[in-house]
Amino acid sequence: MSVTITQKIIAKHLEQDIIEYQLISANGFQVNFLNYGGIISGIYSHDAQGQLDNIVLSRSEFDLENPGHWGATTGRIAGRIAGAKFELEGQVYQLNDNKLGNNLHGGPGGIDKKIWQVTLLTDGAELSHFSPDGAAGFPANVTFKVRYQITRDNRLTISYSATCDRTTIINLTNHSYFDLSAGKNARGMELEIAAAHFAEIDATGCVTGKLCSVSETPFDFRQAKALDRDIYAKHPQLELANQGYDHPFVLDNTLPIRLCDPLNGRTLEIITDEPCCVVYSANFTSPKHIAVCLETQRMPNAINWPEFRESVIFSPDKPYHSQTHWQFGVK
């Protein structure tokens, strides 16, 4: 495997170095990430004319707060937990309310705000973080591991795992914002998702516990369509998300999620063992809709949703693991 790995110190935090690592394949495909929050800070992919551009949103300077969670590994629980609380084994856990009464992405003490240990591999790196019992209000000592591995054919594989010393809840994802147009026409990207149902949200952005059919709605991506074709439609679910998508889609099968830029030919296929993909169309960036997040994960708020509850409960005898492949290319 011909992967070149370089690194540079970009900042200091709590007297520790913030390091950006660059994983570079033989053909120039490149993935940059930070030891802070496992943030993916760049993905460089060729278009049909051979032009190499960064196709994820990234900040020109290190930002400790990282509003919008750009590129971060989010958790312990990705998405919103309703009322910022949950019950587990007879105990109620109260978390930080950091988003309209809910806990979002693990709260202000989430793993996206921690410095991770990095071990280099021949084709990438493994990041690890120990989260002590009670961190951000969650139970159990948990050791998290995330692997980023690239190939010369433009694939990034993200492998997540976690072990815990008692029962807890876990649901991780990566929060990269994709713009295959590299700043030219993100709204024109075409998305295809084999999903017949999406989860309804309330005015706080949290799922309500109801699944809705995508048929004859702006949420039908079973055939590829441009993101902006229906994003401005008068639909209450779009309006609740600040006129855009911020919804979990229940994946029907193992077909890849597909994203493409029809102008420059760049493509992304996502293959995952996760049951859901949260589509977030950057409704709160300025300007709006400058990218799209495709967050593969368990159902948000699953712990408070009986149908999905068991999917996020883990124990010493039931470790957490998940894998998602991002295959970049051209058409």
Picking from 123, 131, 29, the residue whose alpha carbon sits closest to that of residue 73 is: 131
Query: Residue 58 CB: number of other CB atoms within 10 A?
Result: 16
Tell me which of 46, 69, 175, 289 is the catalytic residue. Answer: 175
Helix (H) or strand (E) holding 40: strand 40-46
Torsion angles phi and psi, residue 239, rounded to 5: -70, -35
User: Cβ atoms within 10 A of the Cβ of 321, count?
Assistant: 13
**Rounded to 5 degrees, what are φ and ψ at 236?**
-60, -35
86: amino acid identity, one letter: F
**Active-site annotation holds for 46:** no
Please pick, among 46, 190, 295, 325, the residue that the annotation labels catalytic: 295
Distance CA 38, CA 322 (A): 16
Under a CB-based contact definition with an 8 Å cutoff, are residues 196 and 215 in contact?
A: yes
Residue 291 C-alpha from the chain's centroid = 13
Report the distance separating Cα 58 and Cα 184, nearest Å.
15
CA distances from 216 to 33, 105, 190, 194, 249 (A): 40, 31, 18, 15, 15
Cα 189 from Cα 32, distance rounded (Å): 23
Enumerate the β-bridge partners of residue 247.
279
Q: Does residue 295 have an active-site annotation?
A: yes
Q: How far apart are CA 260 and CA 4, in angstroms?
A: 27
Q: Among residues 147, 160, 167, 105, which one has the least CA distance to residue 320?
A: 160
Q: 51, 77, 201, 193: which is closest to 131 by C-alpha?
A: 77
Residue 322: which residues within 8 A CB-CB, separation 6 or more?
159, 160, 161, 172, 272, 273, 274, 296, 297
Which residues are designated catalytic? 175, 295
